[in-house]
Structure 1
Amino acid sequence: MLTIPDSCVENGIESIPEFFARKSVFITGGTGFLGKVFNRLREERPEDLQKIVPIAGDIVAPNLGINAEDEELLMEKVSVVIHSAATVRFNEPLKVALGINVEGTRKVLNLCHRMKNVKAFVHVSTAYCNAVGIVVEEKLYPPPMDLEKAYELAKDLNGEITQQSLSESLVNDLHGDIPTAIVRPSIAIGKGYCKTIIGDRNNVLDVIPVDYVR
């Protein structure tokens, strides 16, 4: 699910290092599990941490809780946005999940549309948001319901994975002309944190190293 401008197709797509060279990247979710994977960087290239500018915010606050000075910095400097801020509690009350994962994504996209130099938006979703069969294809699936219906149900129901699928649909509807990718990692796991997993040895354990995702 990647929108590629015609110019990239005609001229050849850059390598990943070439694409990111001399670009500023805004990453949401820095305090979450994915955002904390910096230990190797601290050990091997601590000087790179000087490139990081922390931006205080809150995914559920108006305008993401970003102050005017930081917002101006983002407007002027950022070229790539990686949106990984989300709740990963699948039993989260639906109203809370919608506020974080759906409305938070809407706010980040609104921010992207105000950026002067944005070249790409990456939305980190989950492999389990479209549990429609044994194989989940790399395509957008229709949402299980529209947002209005979801908010109506949120008054009484607890949310499971529905809100993630709605987030993908929202990204598809609102990304506009910003080149956009949706990434669906499976369960991310950190070596040493989880030493034992009880399960059936005949089943496939669908996990991925957390640094692969980041």
Structure 2
Amino acid sequence: MLTIPDSCVENGIESIPEFFAGKSVFITGGTGFLGKVIIEKILYSCPQVENVYILVREKKKIAAQDRMKALFDCPVFNRLREERPEDLQKIVPIAGDIVAPNLGINAEDEELLMEKVSVVIHSAATVRFNEPLKVALGINVEGTRKVLNLCHRMKNVKLYPPPMDLEKAYELAKDLNGEITQQSLSESLVNDLHGDIPTAIVRPSIAIGKGYCKTIIGDKNNILDVIPVDYVSNAILYEEE
């Protein structure tokens, strides 16, 4: 999910770099596989973007700031390090957790986001296909609800059919003790709660692109439902323009 201001239409923005010029972005899931590609694409292709704020949680007792150091070492940022290393300073970590109340963001950082952010890209989610429904709802659905609540408080943000009713999904999770796996339900929540925030949902196939997997064993008559990760990141930014 990403949210965009109406100004791109009203002001006749001609290109994606022009749209991002002078704006700040808030990203969840930024330390994940797709998130890192999106961040690099924004910084490299939109040199006049102001800042990219990333929700970062402590992981295995590694502080958010230390996780950022590992992020900068990722090969996806090689061309930025070589050509415009100063642009990496635009990445600002926001300590928090998608499952915590109010995303675990402290009052000072929340005020910063509400004042500065114009674009929100929410990509934090569990990607385990066998995740118990109760766990998946807590991360994917309730996490989305918290991001939407934050979007509604942001001063500069002007923010398809679900597989089942959201309330029914919660009933199933309660009755079956999480023994069934999740279906994609966050779209239903976004559809119900985005209000007057212009919103786009990008739900790609599995994104791949590290180059490690040279062959895949399978039936030649089957369709391999995957997509290169750069196609996904480009499509997300194009949706905003």
> Shorter-chain TM-score: what band?
0.7 to 0.9
What's the TM-score once normalised by structure 1's chain length?
0.78
The answer as to whether partners of 1:91 and 1:158 remain within 8 angstroms in 2 is no
Distance 1:160 1:206 in 2: 26
Percent identical across equivalent pairs?
98
Distance 1:161 1:82, change over 3 A: farther
How do 1:114-125 residues align onto structure 2 when only pairs under 5 Å count? Answer: 114-119=153-158
Distance 2:164 2:181 in 1: 9
CA contact (8 A) 2:102 2:146 kept: yes
The superposition leaves residues 169-205 of structure 1 with CA deviations (integer Å, 9 ceiling, x where unpaired) of 1111111111111112111112323233112233332
Looking at structure 1, the residues matched to 144 and 85 of structure 2 have their Cα atoms a distance apart, in angstroms, of 31
SS of 1:55's partner is: strand
- Closer/same/farther in 2, CA of residues 103 and 167 from structure 1, 3 Å limit: same
How far apart in 2 are the matches of 1:118 and 1:160?
A: 38
How many corresponding residue pairs? 194
158 and 18 in structure 1: CA distance in 2 versus 1, 3 angstrom threshold: farther
Q: What is the TM-score with the length of structure 2 in the denominator?
A: 0.70
Structure 1: runs of 5+ lacking an equivalent:
120-139
Q: How big is the shift at 1:13?
A: 5.0
Unaligned runs of 5+ in 2: 38-76, 233-240
Are the counterparts in 1 of residues 3 and 121 from structure 2 also a CA contact under 8 Å?
Answer: no
* Shift in alpha-carbon separation, 1:89–1:166, aligned structure 2, 3 A: same
Matched-pair contact (CA < 8 Å) for 1:28–1:82? yes
| Root mean square deviation of aligned Cα | 3.3
Worse overlay, 142-151 or 70-79:
142-151
Distance 1:57 1:98 in 2: 19
Bigger drift between 198-207 and 175-184 goes to 198-207
Residues 97 and 159 in structure 1, CA contact (< 8 A), matched pair in contact too: no
Q: 1:111 to 1:86 in 2, by over 3 A?
A: same
Instruction: Please identify, of 69-78 and 26-35, the stretch whose mean Cα deviation from structure 2 is larger.
Output: 26-35
Contact 1:60 1:104 in 2 (8 A): yes
Contact 1:91 1:159 in 2 (8 A): no
Q: 1:92–1:160: 8 Å Cα contact kept in structure 2?
A: no
Bigger fraction of residues in helix: 2
Question: C-alpha distance in 1, partners of 2:107/2:36?
Answer: 26
